[in-house]
Amino acid sequence: MLSEKTISIIKSTVPVLEVHGVAITKRFYQLLFTNHPELMNVFNHANQRQGKQQAALANAVYAAAQYIDKLETILPAVKQIAHKHRSLGITADQYPIVGQNLLQAIKEVLGDAATDEILDAWAEAYGVIASVFISVEAEMYQEAEQQQGGWAGYRAFRVERKVQESSVITSFYFVPQDGGSIASFKPGQYVSVKMDIPGEKNTHIRQYSLSDAPGKPYYRISVKREDTLPSKPAGVVSVYLHEQMKEGEVLWLSAPAGDFTLDLEDIRPVVLISGGVGLTPMVSMLNTLVDTKTDRQVTFIHAAQNGEYHALKQQVEEKVSQTSGAAAHWCYSNPTVLDTGAFHKEGYIDLPWLQKVIPNKDAVFYFCGPVPFMAHINRLLLEWNVPAEQIHYEFFGPSGSLDQPSEQAAVPQQ
């Protein structure tokens, strides 16, 4: 337990962290990778370059300081991060390394304002927070390894099939190289894919949502090729998977993880809303609901630029046709002449259209896609007075915020 003095000191740093949090975490990662370059094999380099990881860590540190006397408040966030850590293979012995470099970054960025008293308080607080993560993750590692078909660390899988789903999305079907069984998973979960790519200095690990229902003899992921854009470089892993990975080749997967999952115990109607490649966990949820012959009403809504970028469309339509309780609706922001009759709304998802195609707002809503798209959907649902506890969403990559403007940028471009 933390002393009252330590809690008071940590809380006094909240305003400083609000201003300097990103600067601290940016310096932290610089120190971490300089002092321990081997950790470059764990972290997503693209998120580092784009500043996403630094912002996510800054938000986590800020929340920890704000609720240092009520750590149970941030337990859901802890579990979400712990899932990612377990999937990546973060170990208990790495936490002291992180703590040492984080304290050094605080000292360097804040200068004289980072007194010995403040640094000592943060060292004590970090120790408590780290012990919570280590405990939660230890349980997750044990569960992942001991479940039927489970394993520890990474396991070799062979690419059984590679299927192009749209101009930018390709599905990969993985089966274990050892011929053994595979662990089940909850619809909405993801796996980490670990690859050593020729010409790349470091190992690359990426997390991809599983895009089919559990209970199959394979895992399927559906990957968007991340080409170079003015705002970001090309995705090293996604481009390699699309261009170089062939059927029969082998890569390494973690056991499934993640807390963005479909609640199969709930009996209320389900609304699944996706933009772009955000449809992958939604398809897993849809397939599971149909395969289990649920009586729940299911509404599947997907937004894409046009048919060229619309992946898994035929599969979703076939799945929906298997039950009278399901319906699918497509929204294209920039349809082509080839899309005539192939979509239900042109332009952007808006509230009147949602109210028209969703039979009942007393439902559970799941959505995923680009952050501006999710911010837009979240705003519409809140405007419709859907209770926050009925709204669930997933960030691809480090957690962010949906508290942002959501105008026309909300439509996914791919």
Catalytic residues: 95, 137
Where in 320-403 does DSSP place strands (E)? 326-332, 345-346, 364-368, 391-394
Closest by CA to 126, choosing from 65, 57, 54, 55, is: 65
Tokens of 170: 């390709």
Lookup result for tokens 């300089």 = 34
What 3-state DSSP class applies to 394? strand
List all residues 6 or more positions away from 59 whose beta carbon is below 8 Å from its beta carbon. 21, 399, 401
Residues 161 and 329: their CA atoms lie apart, in Å, by: 28
What 3-state DSSP class applies to 303? strand
Q: Are 251 and 195 in contact (CB under 8 A)?
A: yes
Closest by CA to 87, choosing from 187, 181, 174, 207, is: 207
Tokens of 256: 């499934």
List all residues 6 or more positions away from 260 whose beta carbon is below 8 Å from its beta carbon. 188, 189, 281, 366, 368, 392, 393, 394
